[in-house]
Amino acid sequence: MATPLSDQEKRKQISIRGIVGVENVAEIKKGFNRHLHFTLAKDRNVSTRRDYFFALAHTVRDHLVGRWLRTQQHYYETDPKRVYYLSLEFYMGRTLENTMINLGLQNACDEAIYQLGLDMEDLEEMEEDAGLGNGGLGRLAACFLDSMATLGLAAYGYGIRYEYGIFNQRISDGWQVEEADDWLRHGNPWEKARPEFMLPVHFYGHVEKTREGPKWVDTQVVLAMPYDTPIPGYMNNTVNTMRLWSARAPNDFNLRDFNVGDYIQAVLDRSVAENISRVLYPNDNFFEGKELRLKQEYFVVAATLQDIIRRFKASKKGRVTFETFPDKVAIQLNDTHPAMAIPELMRIFMDIEKLPFDKAWEITQKTFAYTNHTVLPEALERWPVQLMETLLPRHLHIIYEINQKHLDKISALFPEDMDRLRRMSIIEEEGVKRINMAHLCIVGSHAVNGVAQIHSQIVKDQVFRDFSELEPEKFQNKTNGITPRRWLLMCNAGLAELIAEKIGDGYVKDLSQLRKIAAFVNDESFIRDVSQVKQENKMKFAQYLEKEYKVKINPSSMFDVHVKRIHEYKRQLLNCLHIITMYNRIKKDPAKHFVPRTVIIGGKAAPGYHMAKMIIKLITSVGDVVNNDPVVGNRLKVIFLENYRVSLAEKVIPATDLSEQISTAGTEASGTGNMKFMLNGALTIGTMDGANVEMAEEAGEGNLFIFGMRVADVEALDKKGYNAMDYYDKLPELKQVMDQIKSGYFSPKQPDLFKDITDMLFKHDRFKVFADYEDYVKSQEKASNLYQDPKQWTKMVIINISASGKFSSDRTIKEYAKDIWGVEPSDIKIKPPNEPREPVETREAAVKPKSKGSLL
Ligand SMILES: *Cc1c(COP(=O)(O)O)cnc(C)c1O
């Protein structure tokens, strides 16, 4: 067997990572040295590794700028319909390597950095993650930006430039500890502030009746400062924009009326206004009705809509009439978080542009589309009317007006059906009066979609059944996807190249071509190569764990990985019960053969989510017992992976053998982690939930370890009544596990430490962990048995990879473009740029710009 290539050697061979070319290498070295000198003001005697990272980042950034300007100019000139993706989260992770890949610069940069005596991976590790998201929803937005640029759509991401992203998680004595994510401390080389496009956002005040209609007056103003980040498409010279808003106090803040005289205090108080963009709310799938959060939601919406309307008015058609607005503008709402865009656009149309309600409403509905991301009741946004009245009084009036017309329409169709009116109202009247934001979004949009087939079905038939009865044509499905650039080329170069050797590189832009590798499922050398790439990835990850955390794991054991936010519905507890079951089996019969496993669990708990934090403590406590038991040896290890985030996902996913996707059927809307693992050659153990259902459909159910209740079974069990004791009494191994947790086997110093967990599992487990325990353990045994036969395992891996093409976000975005936005992908390659275009060298050449200020 040939000796494996080093990463350095491997990268040089790879065609899909760009052409090396001596002149490219020389140019990059030149740029690097120039930036080290002029931008960072350092030389090689005093430079740190971080300086080298910034020098390279600026060098790569230089290659984006010309393409960025040309793309935006192209949009200005051709005036296509714009797509606006509004999201409170963009979980971008790192940018350097992704940019090199999408620009085809990776090989040249690798070579340049190598010639400069530096290590590319060391430099890449210096970059902070842009952690402006919690989990799947925020990462989806980031994948969509990549796909929209790759498909040549005139698209924009709009969000908030949080000064602090998702907290950093430390594990101390087995408990989660949060640390602030000061990601901008060393500066962000990818953003460009655009103070000339700063916009005012109003809060509070009251509504005055005037002869020209209602007027929102006496408001407090906060300024929104845009920061633009370039979003390159894959090898098409398209560079789109993600525009994130940062809150700034006006310079006369508090100096005009009340705080007169106290200048110092007024300046200090500026931070109150600027707190709006200070920090990301760290809840995943949970609604926290805080005033600051509502301010954030309105802040992004108000600034973005002004920007959209400015750009529309600057375009040719926009000068004429707002009738054409929906032909030129599509706005996608990433969950209800930006839902205030609906009443805000109505306010602009009615109060500022003086359109009548009905006309404004027609245009608004045609403009918006809403993506639902969850059916969990605790996650649905329902803002108290009182809070809305204080913060956004005019919007509350408009919401009431929208609701009135909506209810009138329903009572005309269903006379006397008071219960239906109550169920469908945007305003909930029982208890504390609240605004149901999902209802507002459904009523205000022309399209509503779920994020996987099963989820869209539940949205239609259960959660929003009344609405789908009223307007069935509105409801759609758009199964989520992931970008194959980051989640294959970037994180798993070895596998990407292996695939390219067999089927060429067309799959990078058309992932359905992965089907072609199914032809090699019996090809002995391909099987060996696939398994070898996995083994290399596992070794590398094991080395990383040893270096960073001083833990040694056995790289020939099965890597069983469960990484995602910690949530009861995601059932990390079920996994934990299985770990203890395996431990008990080893202890009971130590001589019996056992397929070695390393169970890796990682994820952040929302800081206010008590049960999630207890689950982390239970996992680390079980790990302490299992990992230090000499009888177990290195057959079973439990690792809690600290600070799971995008850059860590990129390391652990390619090293995974078994992917845990074990939510209670009907609770995980789609999942996207599941897709990343499938694409990277892991097998899935999972329930028939979210996109797992479609993964099983694509690969064949027998090629996943599917177990447990289906949605119908869960419903039947709910009807009958779920009783945890039924399973506890019936299953001796489950009984033993629960008795151990309860009696303090894993917490000898504090036997009742896990009382909240055991009480929940026994008495009020909404997610029915015990009901799936038996089938889960059996399914895990099947996985272990197959793992003993490496060839059969790898064949199943190949089938899975070949079946994963559907889960490209390119496919998802094409569906949004066609079925919701009414735009078409463009594969015209915008002309590659030279250096700064048309340099102005003479007074005669210094012509007036075509569209000062509105081009971007
Ligand atoms: C993909 C991803 C998620 C979403 O994972 P699920 O398993 O779908 O919940 C969460 N966090 C990070 C860092 C991710 O990359």
650 C-alpha to center of ligand 1: Å? 11
pLDDT of residue 7: 54
350 C-alpha to center of ligand 1: Å? 41
Q: Are residues 785 and 820 in the same domain?
A: no
pLDDT of residue 2: 43
Q: Which domain range does residue 737 map to?
A: 534-805
- In short, whether 135's Cβ falls inside 6 Å of ligand 1 is yes
Which ligand 1 atom is the nearest neighbour of the CA of 649? 15
Instruction: Specify which residues 559 forms β-bridges with.
Output: 598
Q: Are residues 459 and 553 in the same domain?
A: no
Q: Ligand 1 atom 5: the closest Cα is on which residue?
A: 673
Query: Among residues 156, 154, 123, 159, which one has the least CA distance to residue 51?
Result: 123
Phi, psi angle pair for 357, to nearest 5°: -50, -50
135 C-alpha to center of ligand 1: Å? 5
Q: Dihedral through CA 818, CA 820, CA 824, CA 825, nearest 10? A: -90
Q: Are residues 414 and 540 in the same domain?
A: no
Low-confidence ranges of the chain (pLDDT < 70): 1-15, 257-260, 317-320, 832-855
**Catalytic residue flag (residue 570):** yes
Q: Are residues 171 and 303 in the same domain?
A: yes
Do 426 and 348 meet the contact criterion of CB atoms below 8 Å apart? no
Do 253 and 260 meet the contact criterion of CB atoms below 8 Å apart? no
Q: Ligand 1 atom 11: the closest Cα is on which residue?
A: 135
Contacts of 693 (CB under 8 A, 6+ apart): 452, 453, 454
How much of the chain, in percent, has pLDDT values that exceed 70? 94
Our mutation pick for probing the ligand 1 site, out of 563, 572, 652, 680, counting the most ligand atoms within 8 A of Cβ, is 563
pLDDT of residue 852: 56
Q: Are residues 683 and 716 in the same domain?
A: yes
Residue recorded with tokens 């008495």: 763
37 C-alpha to center of ligand 1: Å? 39
Do 156 and 86 meet the contact criterion of CB atoms below 8 Å apart? no
Q: Are residues 548 and 680 in the same domain?
A: yes
End-to-end CA separation in angstroms for the chain: 56
45 in a domain, yes or no? no
504 in a domain, yes or no? no
- In short, whether 690's Cβ falls inside 6 Å of ligand 1 is no
> Three-state SS string across 170-193, please?
EEECCEEEEECCCCCCCCCCCCEE
Residue recorded with tokens 């971008």: 92
Do 351 and 213 meet the contact criterion of CB atoms below 8 Å apart? yes
Contacts of 88 (CB under 8 A, 6+ apart): 159, 160, 296, 297, 300, 334, 335, 337, 338
610 C-alpha to center of ligand 1: Å? 21
Q: What is the CATH number of the domain that holds 303?
A: 3.40.50.2000
121 in a domain, yes or no? no
Instruction: Give the whole-angstrom CA distance, residue 777 versus residue 779.
Output: 5
**Catalytic residue flag (residue 672):** yes
Q: What is the CA radius of gyration of the chain?
A: 28
**Catalytic residue flag (residue 82):** no
Q: Is residue 280 left, alpha or beta, with left meaning phi > 0 and alpha meaning psi from -120 to 50?
A: beta
- In short, whether 602's Cβ falls inside 6 Å of ligand 1 is no
Q: Are residues 455 and 598 in the same domain?
A: no
**Catalytic residue flag (residue 676):** yes
Query: Among residues 243, 448, 213, 223, which one has the least CA distance to residue 349?
Result: 213
**What is the distance, to the nearest Å, from the Cα of residue 772 to the centroid of all Cα atoms in its chain?**
28
Query: Among residues 544, 357, 332, which one has the least CA distance to residue 446?
Result: 332
Q: Which of 161, 248, 311, 373 is catalytic?
A: 373
pLDDT of residue 833: 64
pLDDT of residue 254: 86
Q: Are residues 539 and 460 in the same domain?
A: no
675 in a domain, yes or no? yes
Q: Mean of the per-residue pLDDT values for the chain?
A: 95
Instruction: Give the whole-angstrom CA distance, residue 253 versus residue 247.
Output: 13
pLDDT in tens, 712-746: 999 999 999 999 999 999 999 999 999 999 999 99
132 C-alpha to center of ligand 1: Å? 13
3-state SS class at 277: helix
Which parts of 655-691 fold into alpha helices (H)? Answer: 673-679
Q: Are residues 191 and 145 in the same domain?
A: yes
Q: Are residues 819 and 779 in the same domain?
A: no
pLDDT of residue 841: 64
- In short, whether 139's Cβ falls inside 6 Å of ligand 1 is yes
Q: Are residues 221 and 240 in the same domain?
A: yes
- In short, whether 142's Cβ falls inside 6 Å of ligand 1 is no
Instruction: Give the whole-angstrom CA distance, residue 740 versus residue 576.
Output: 12
- In short, whether 16's Cβ falls inside 6 Å of ligand 1 is no
Q: Which of 565, 567, 635, 795 is catalytic?
A: 565
Q: Which of 570, 637, 795, 806 is catalytic?
A: 570
- In short, whether 189's Cβ falls inside 6 Å of ligand 1 is no
- In short, whether 672's Cβ falls inside 6 Å of ligand 1 is yes
Instruction: Give the whole-angstrom CA distance, residue 787 versus residue 594.
Output: 11
**What is the distance, to the nearest Å, from the Cα of residue 782 to the centroid of all Cα atoms in its chain?**
32
> Measured between alpha carbons, how far is residue 498 from residues 10, 488, 504, 693 in Å?
11, 11, 10, 28
565 C-alpha to center of ligand 1: Å? 7
Contacts of 473 (CB under 8 A, 6+ apart): none
274 in a domain, yes or no? yes
Residue recorded with tokens 């607005």: 325
830 C-alpha to center of ligand 1: Å? 33
pLDDT in tens, 5-47: 555 555 445 567 777 777 799 999 999 999 999 999 999 999 9
624 in a domain, yes or no? yes
pLDDT of residue 71: 98
Instruction: Give the whole-angstrom CA distance, residue 93 versus residue 141.
Output: 12
Which ligand 1 atom is the nearest neighbour of the CA of 645? 13
710 C-alpha to center of ligand 1: Å? 23
Q: Ligand 1 atom 9: the closest Cα is on which residue?
A: 564
Instruction: Give the whole-angstrom CA distance, residue 337 versus residue 288.
Output: 12
pLDDT of residue 1: 38
**Count of residues in the chain:** 856
Number of domains in the chain: 2
pLDDT of residue 11: 47
Our mutation pick for probing the ligand 1 site, out of 143, 646, 687, counting the most ligand atoms within 8 A of Cβ, is 646
440 C-alpha to center of ligand 1: Å? 28
- In short, whether 603's Cβ falls inside 6 Å of ligand 1 is no
Our mutation pick for probing the ligand 1 site, out of 89, 98, 129, 139, counting the most ligand atoms within 8 A of Cβ, is 139
Strands 434-436 and 382-384: antiparallel
Query: Among residues 555, 801, 652, which one has the least CA distance to residue 793?
Result: 801
- In short, whether 393's Cβ falls inside 6 Å of ligand 1 is no
pLDDT of residue 20: 76
614 in a domain, yes or no? yes
Q: Are residues 466 and 540 in the same domain?
A: no
58 in a domain, yes or no? no
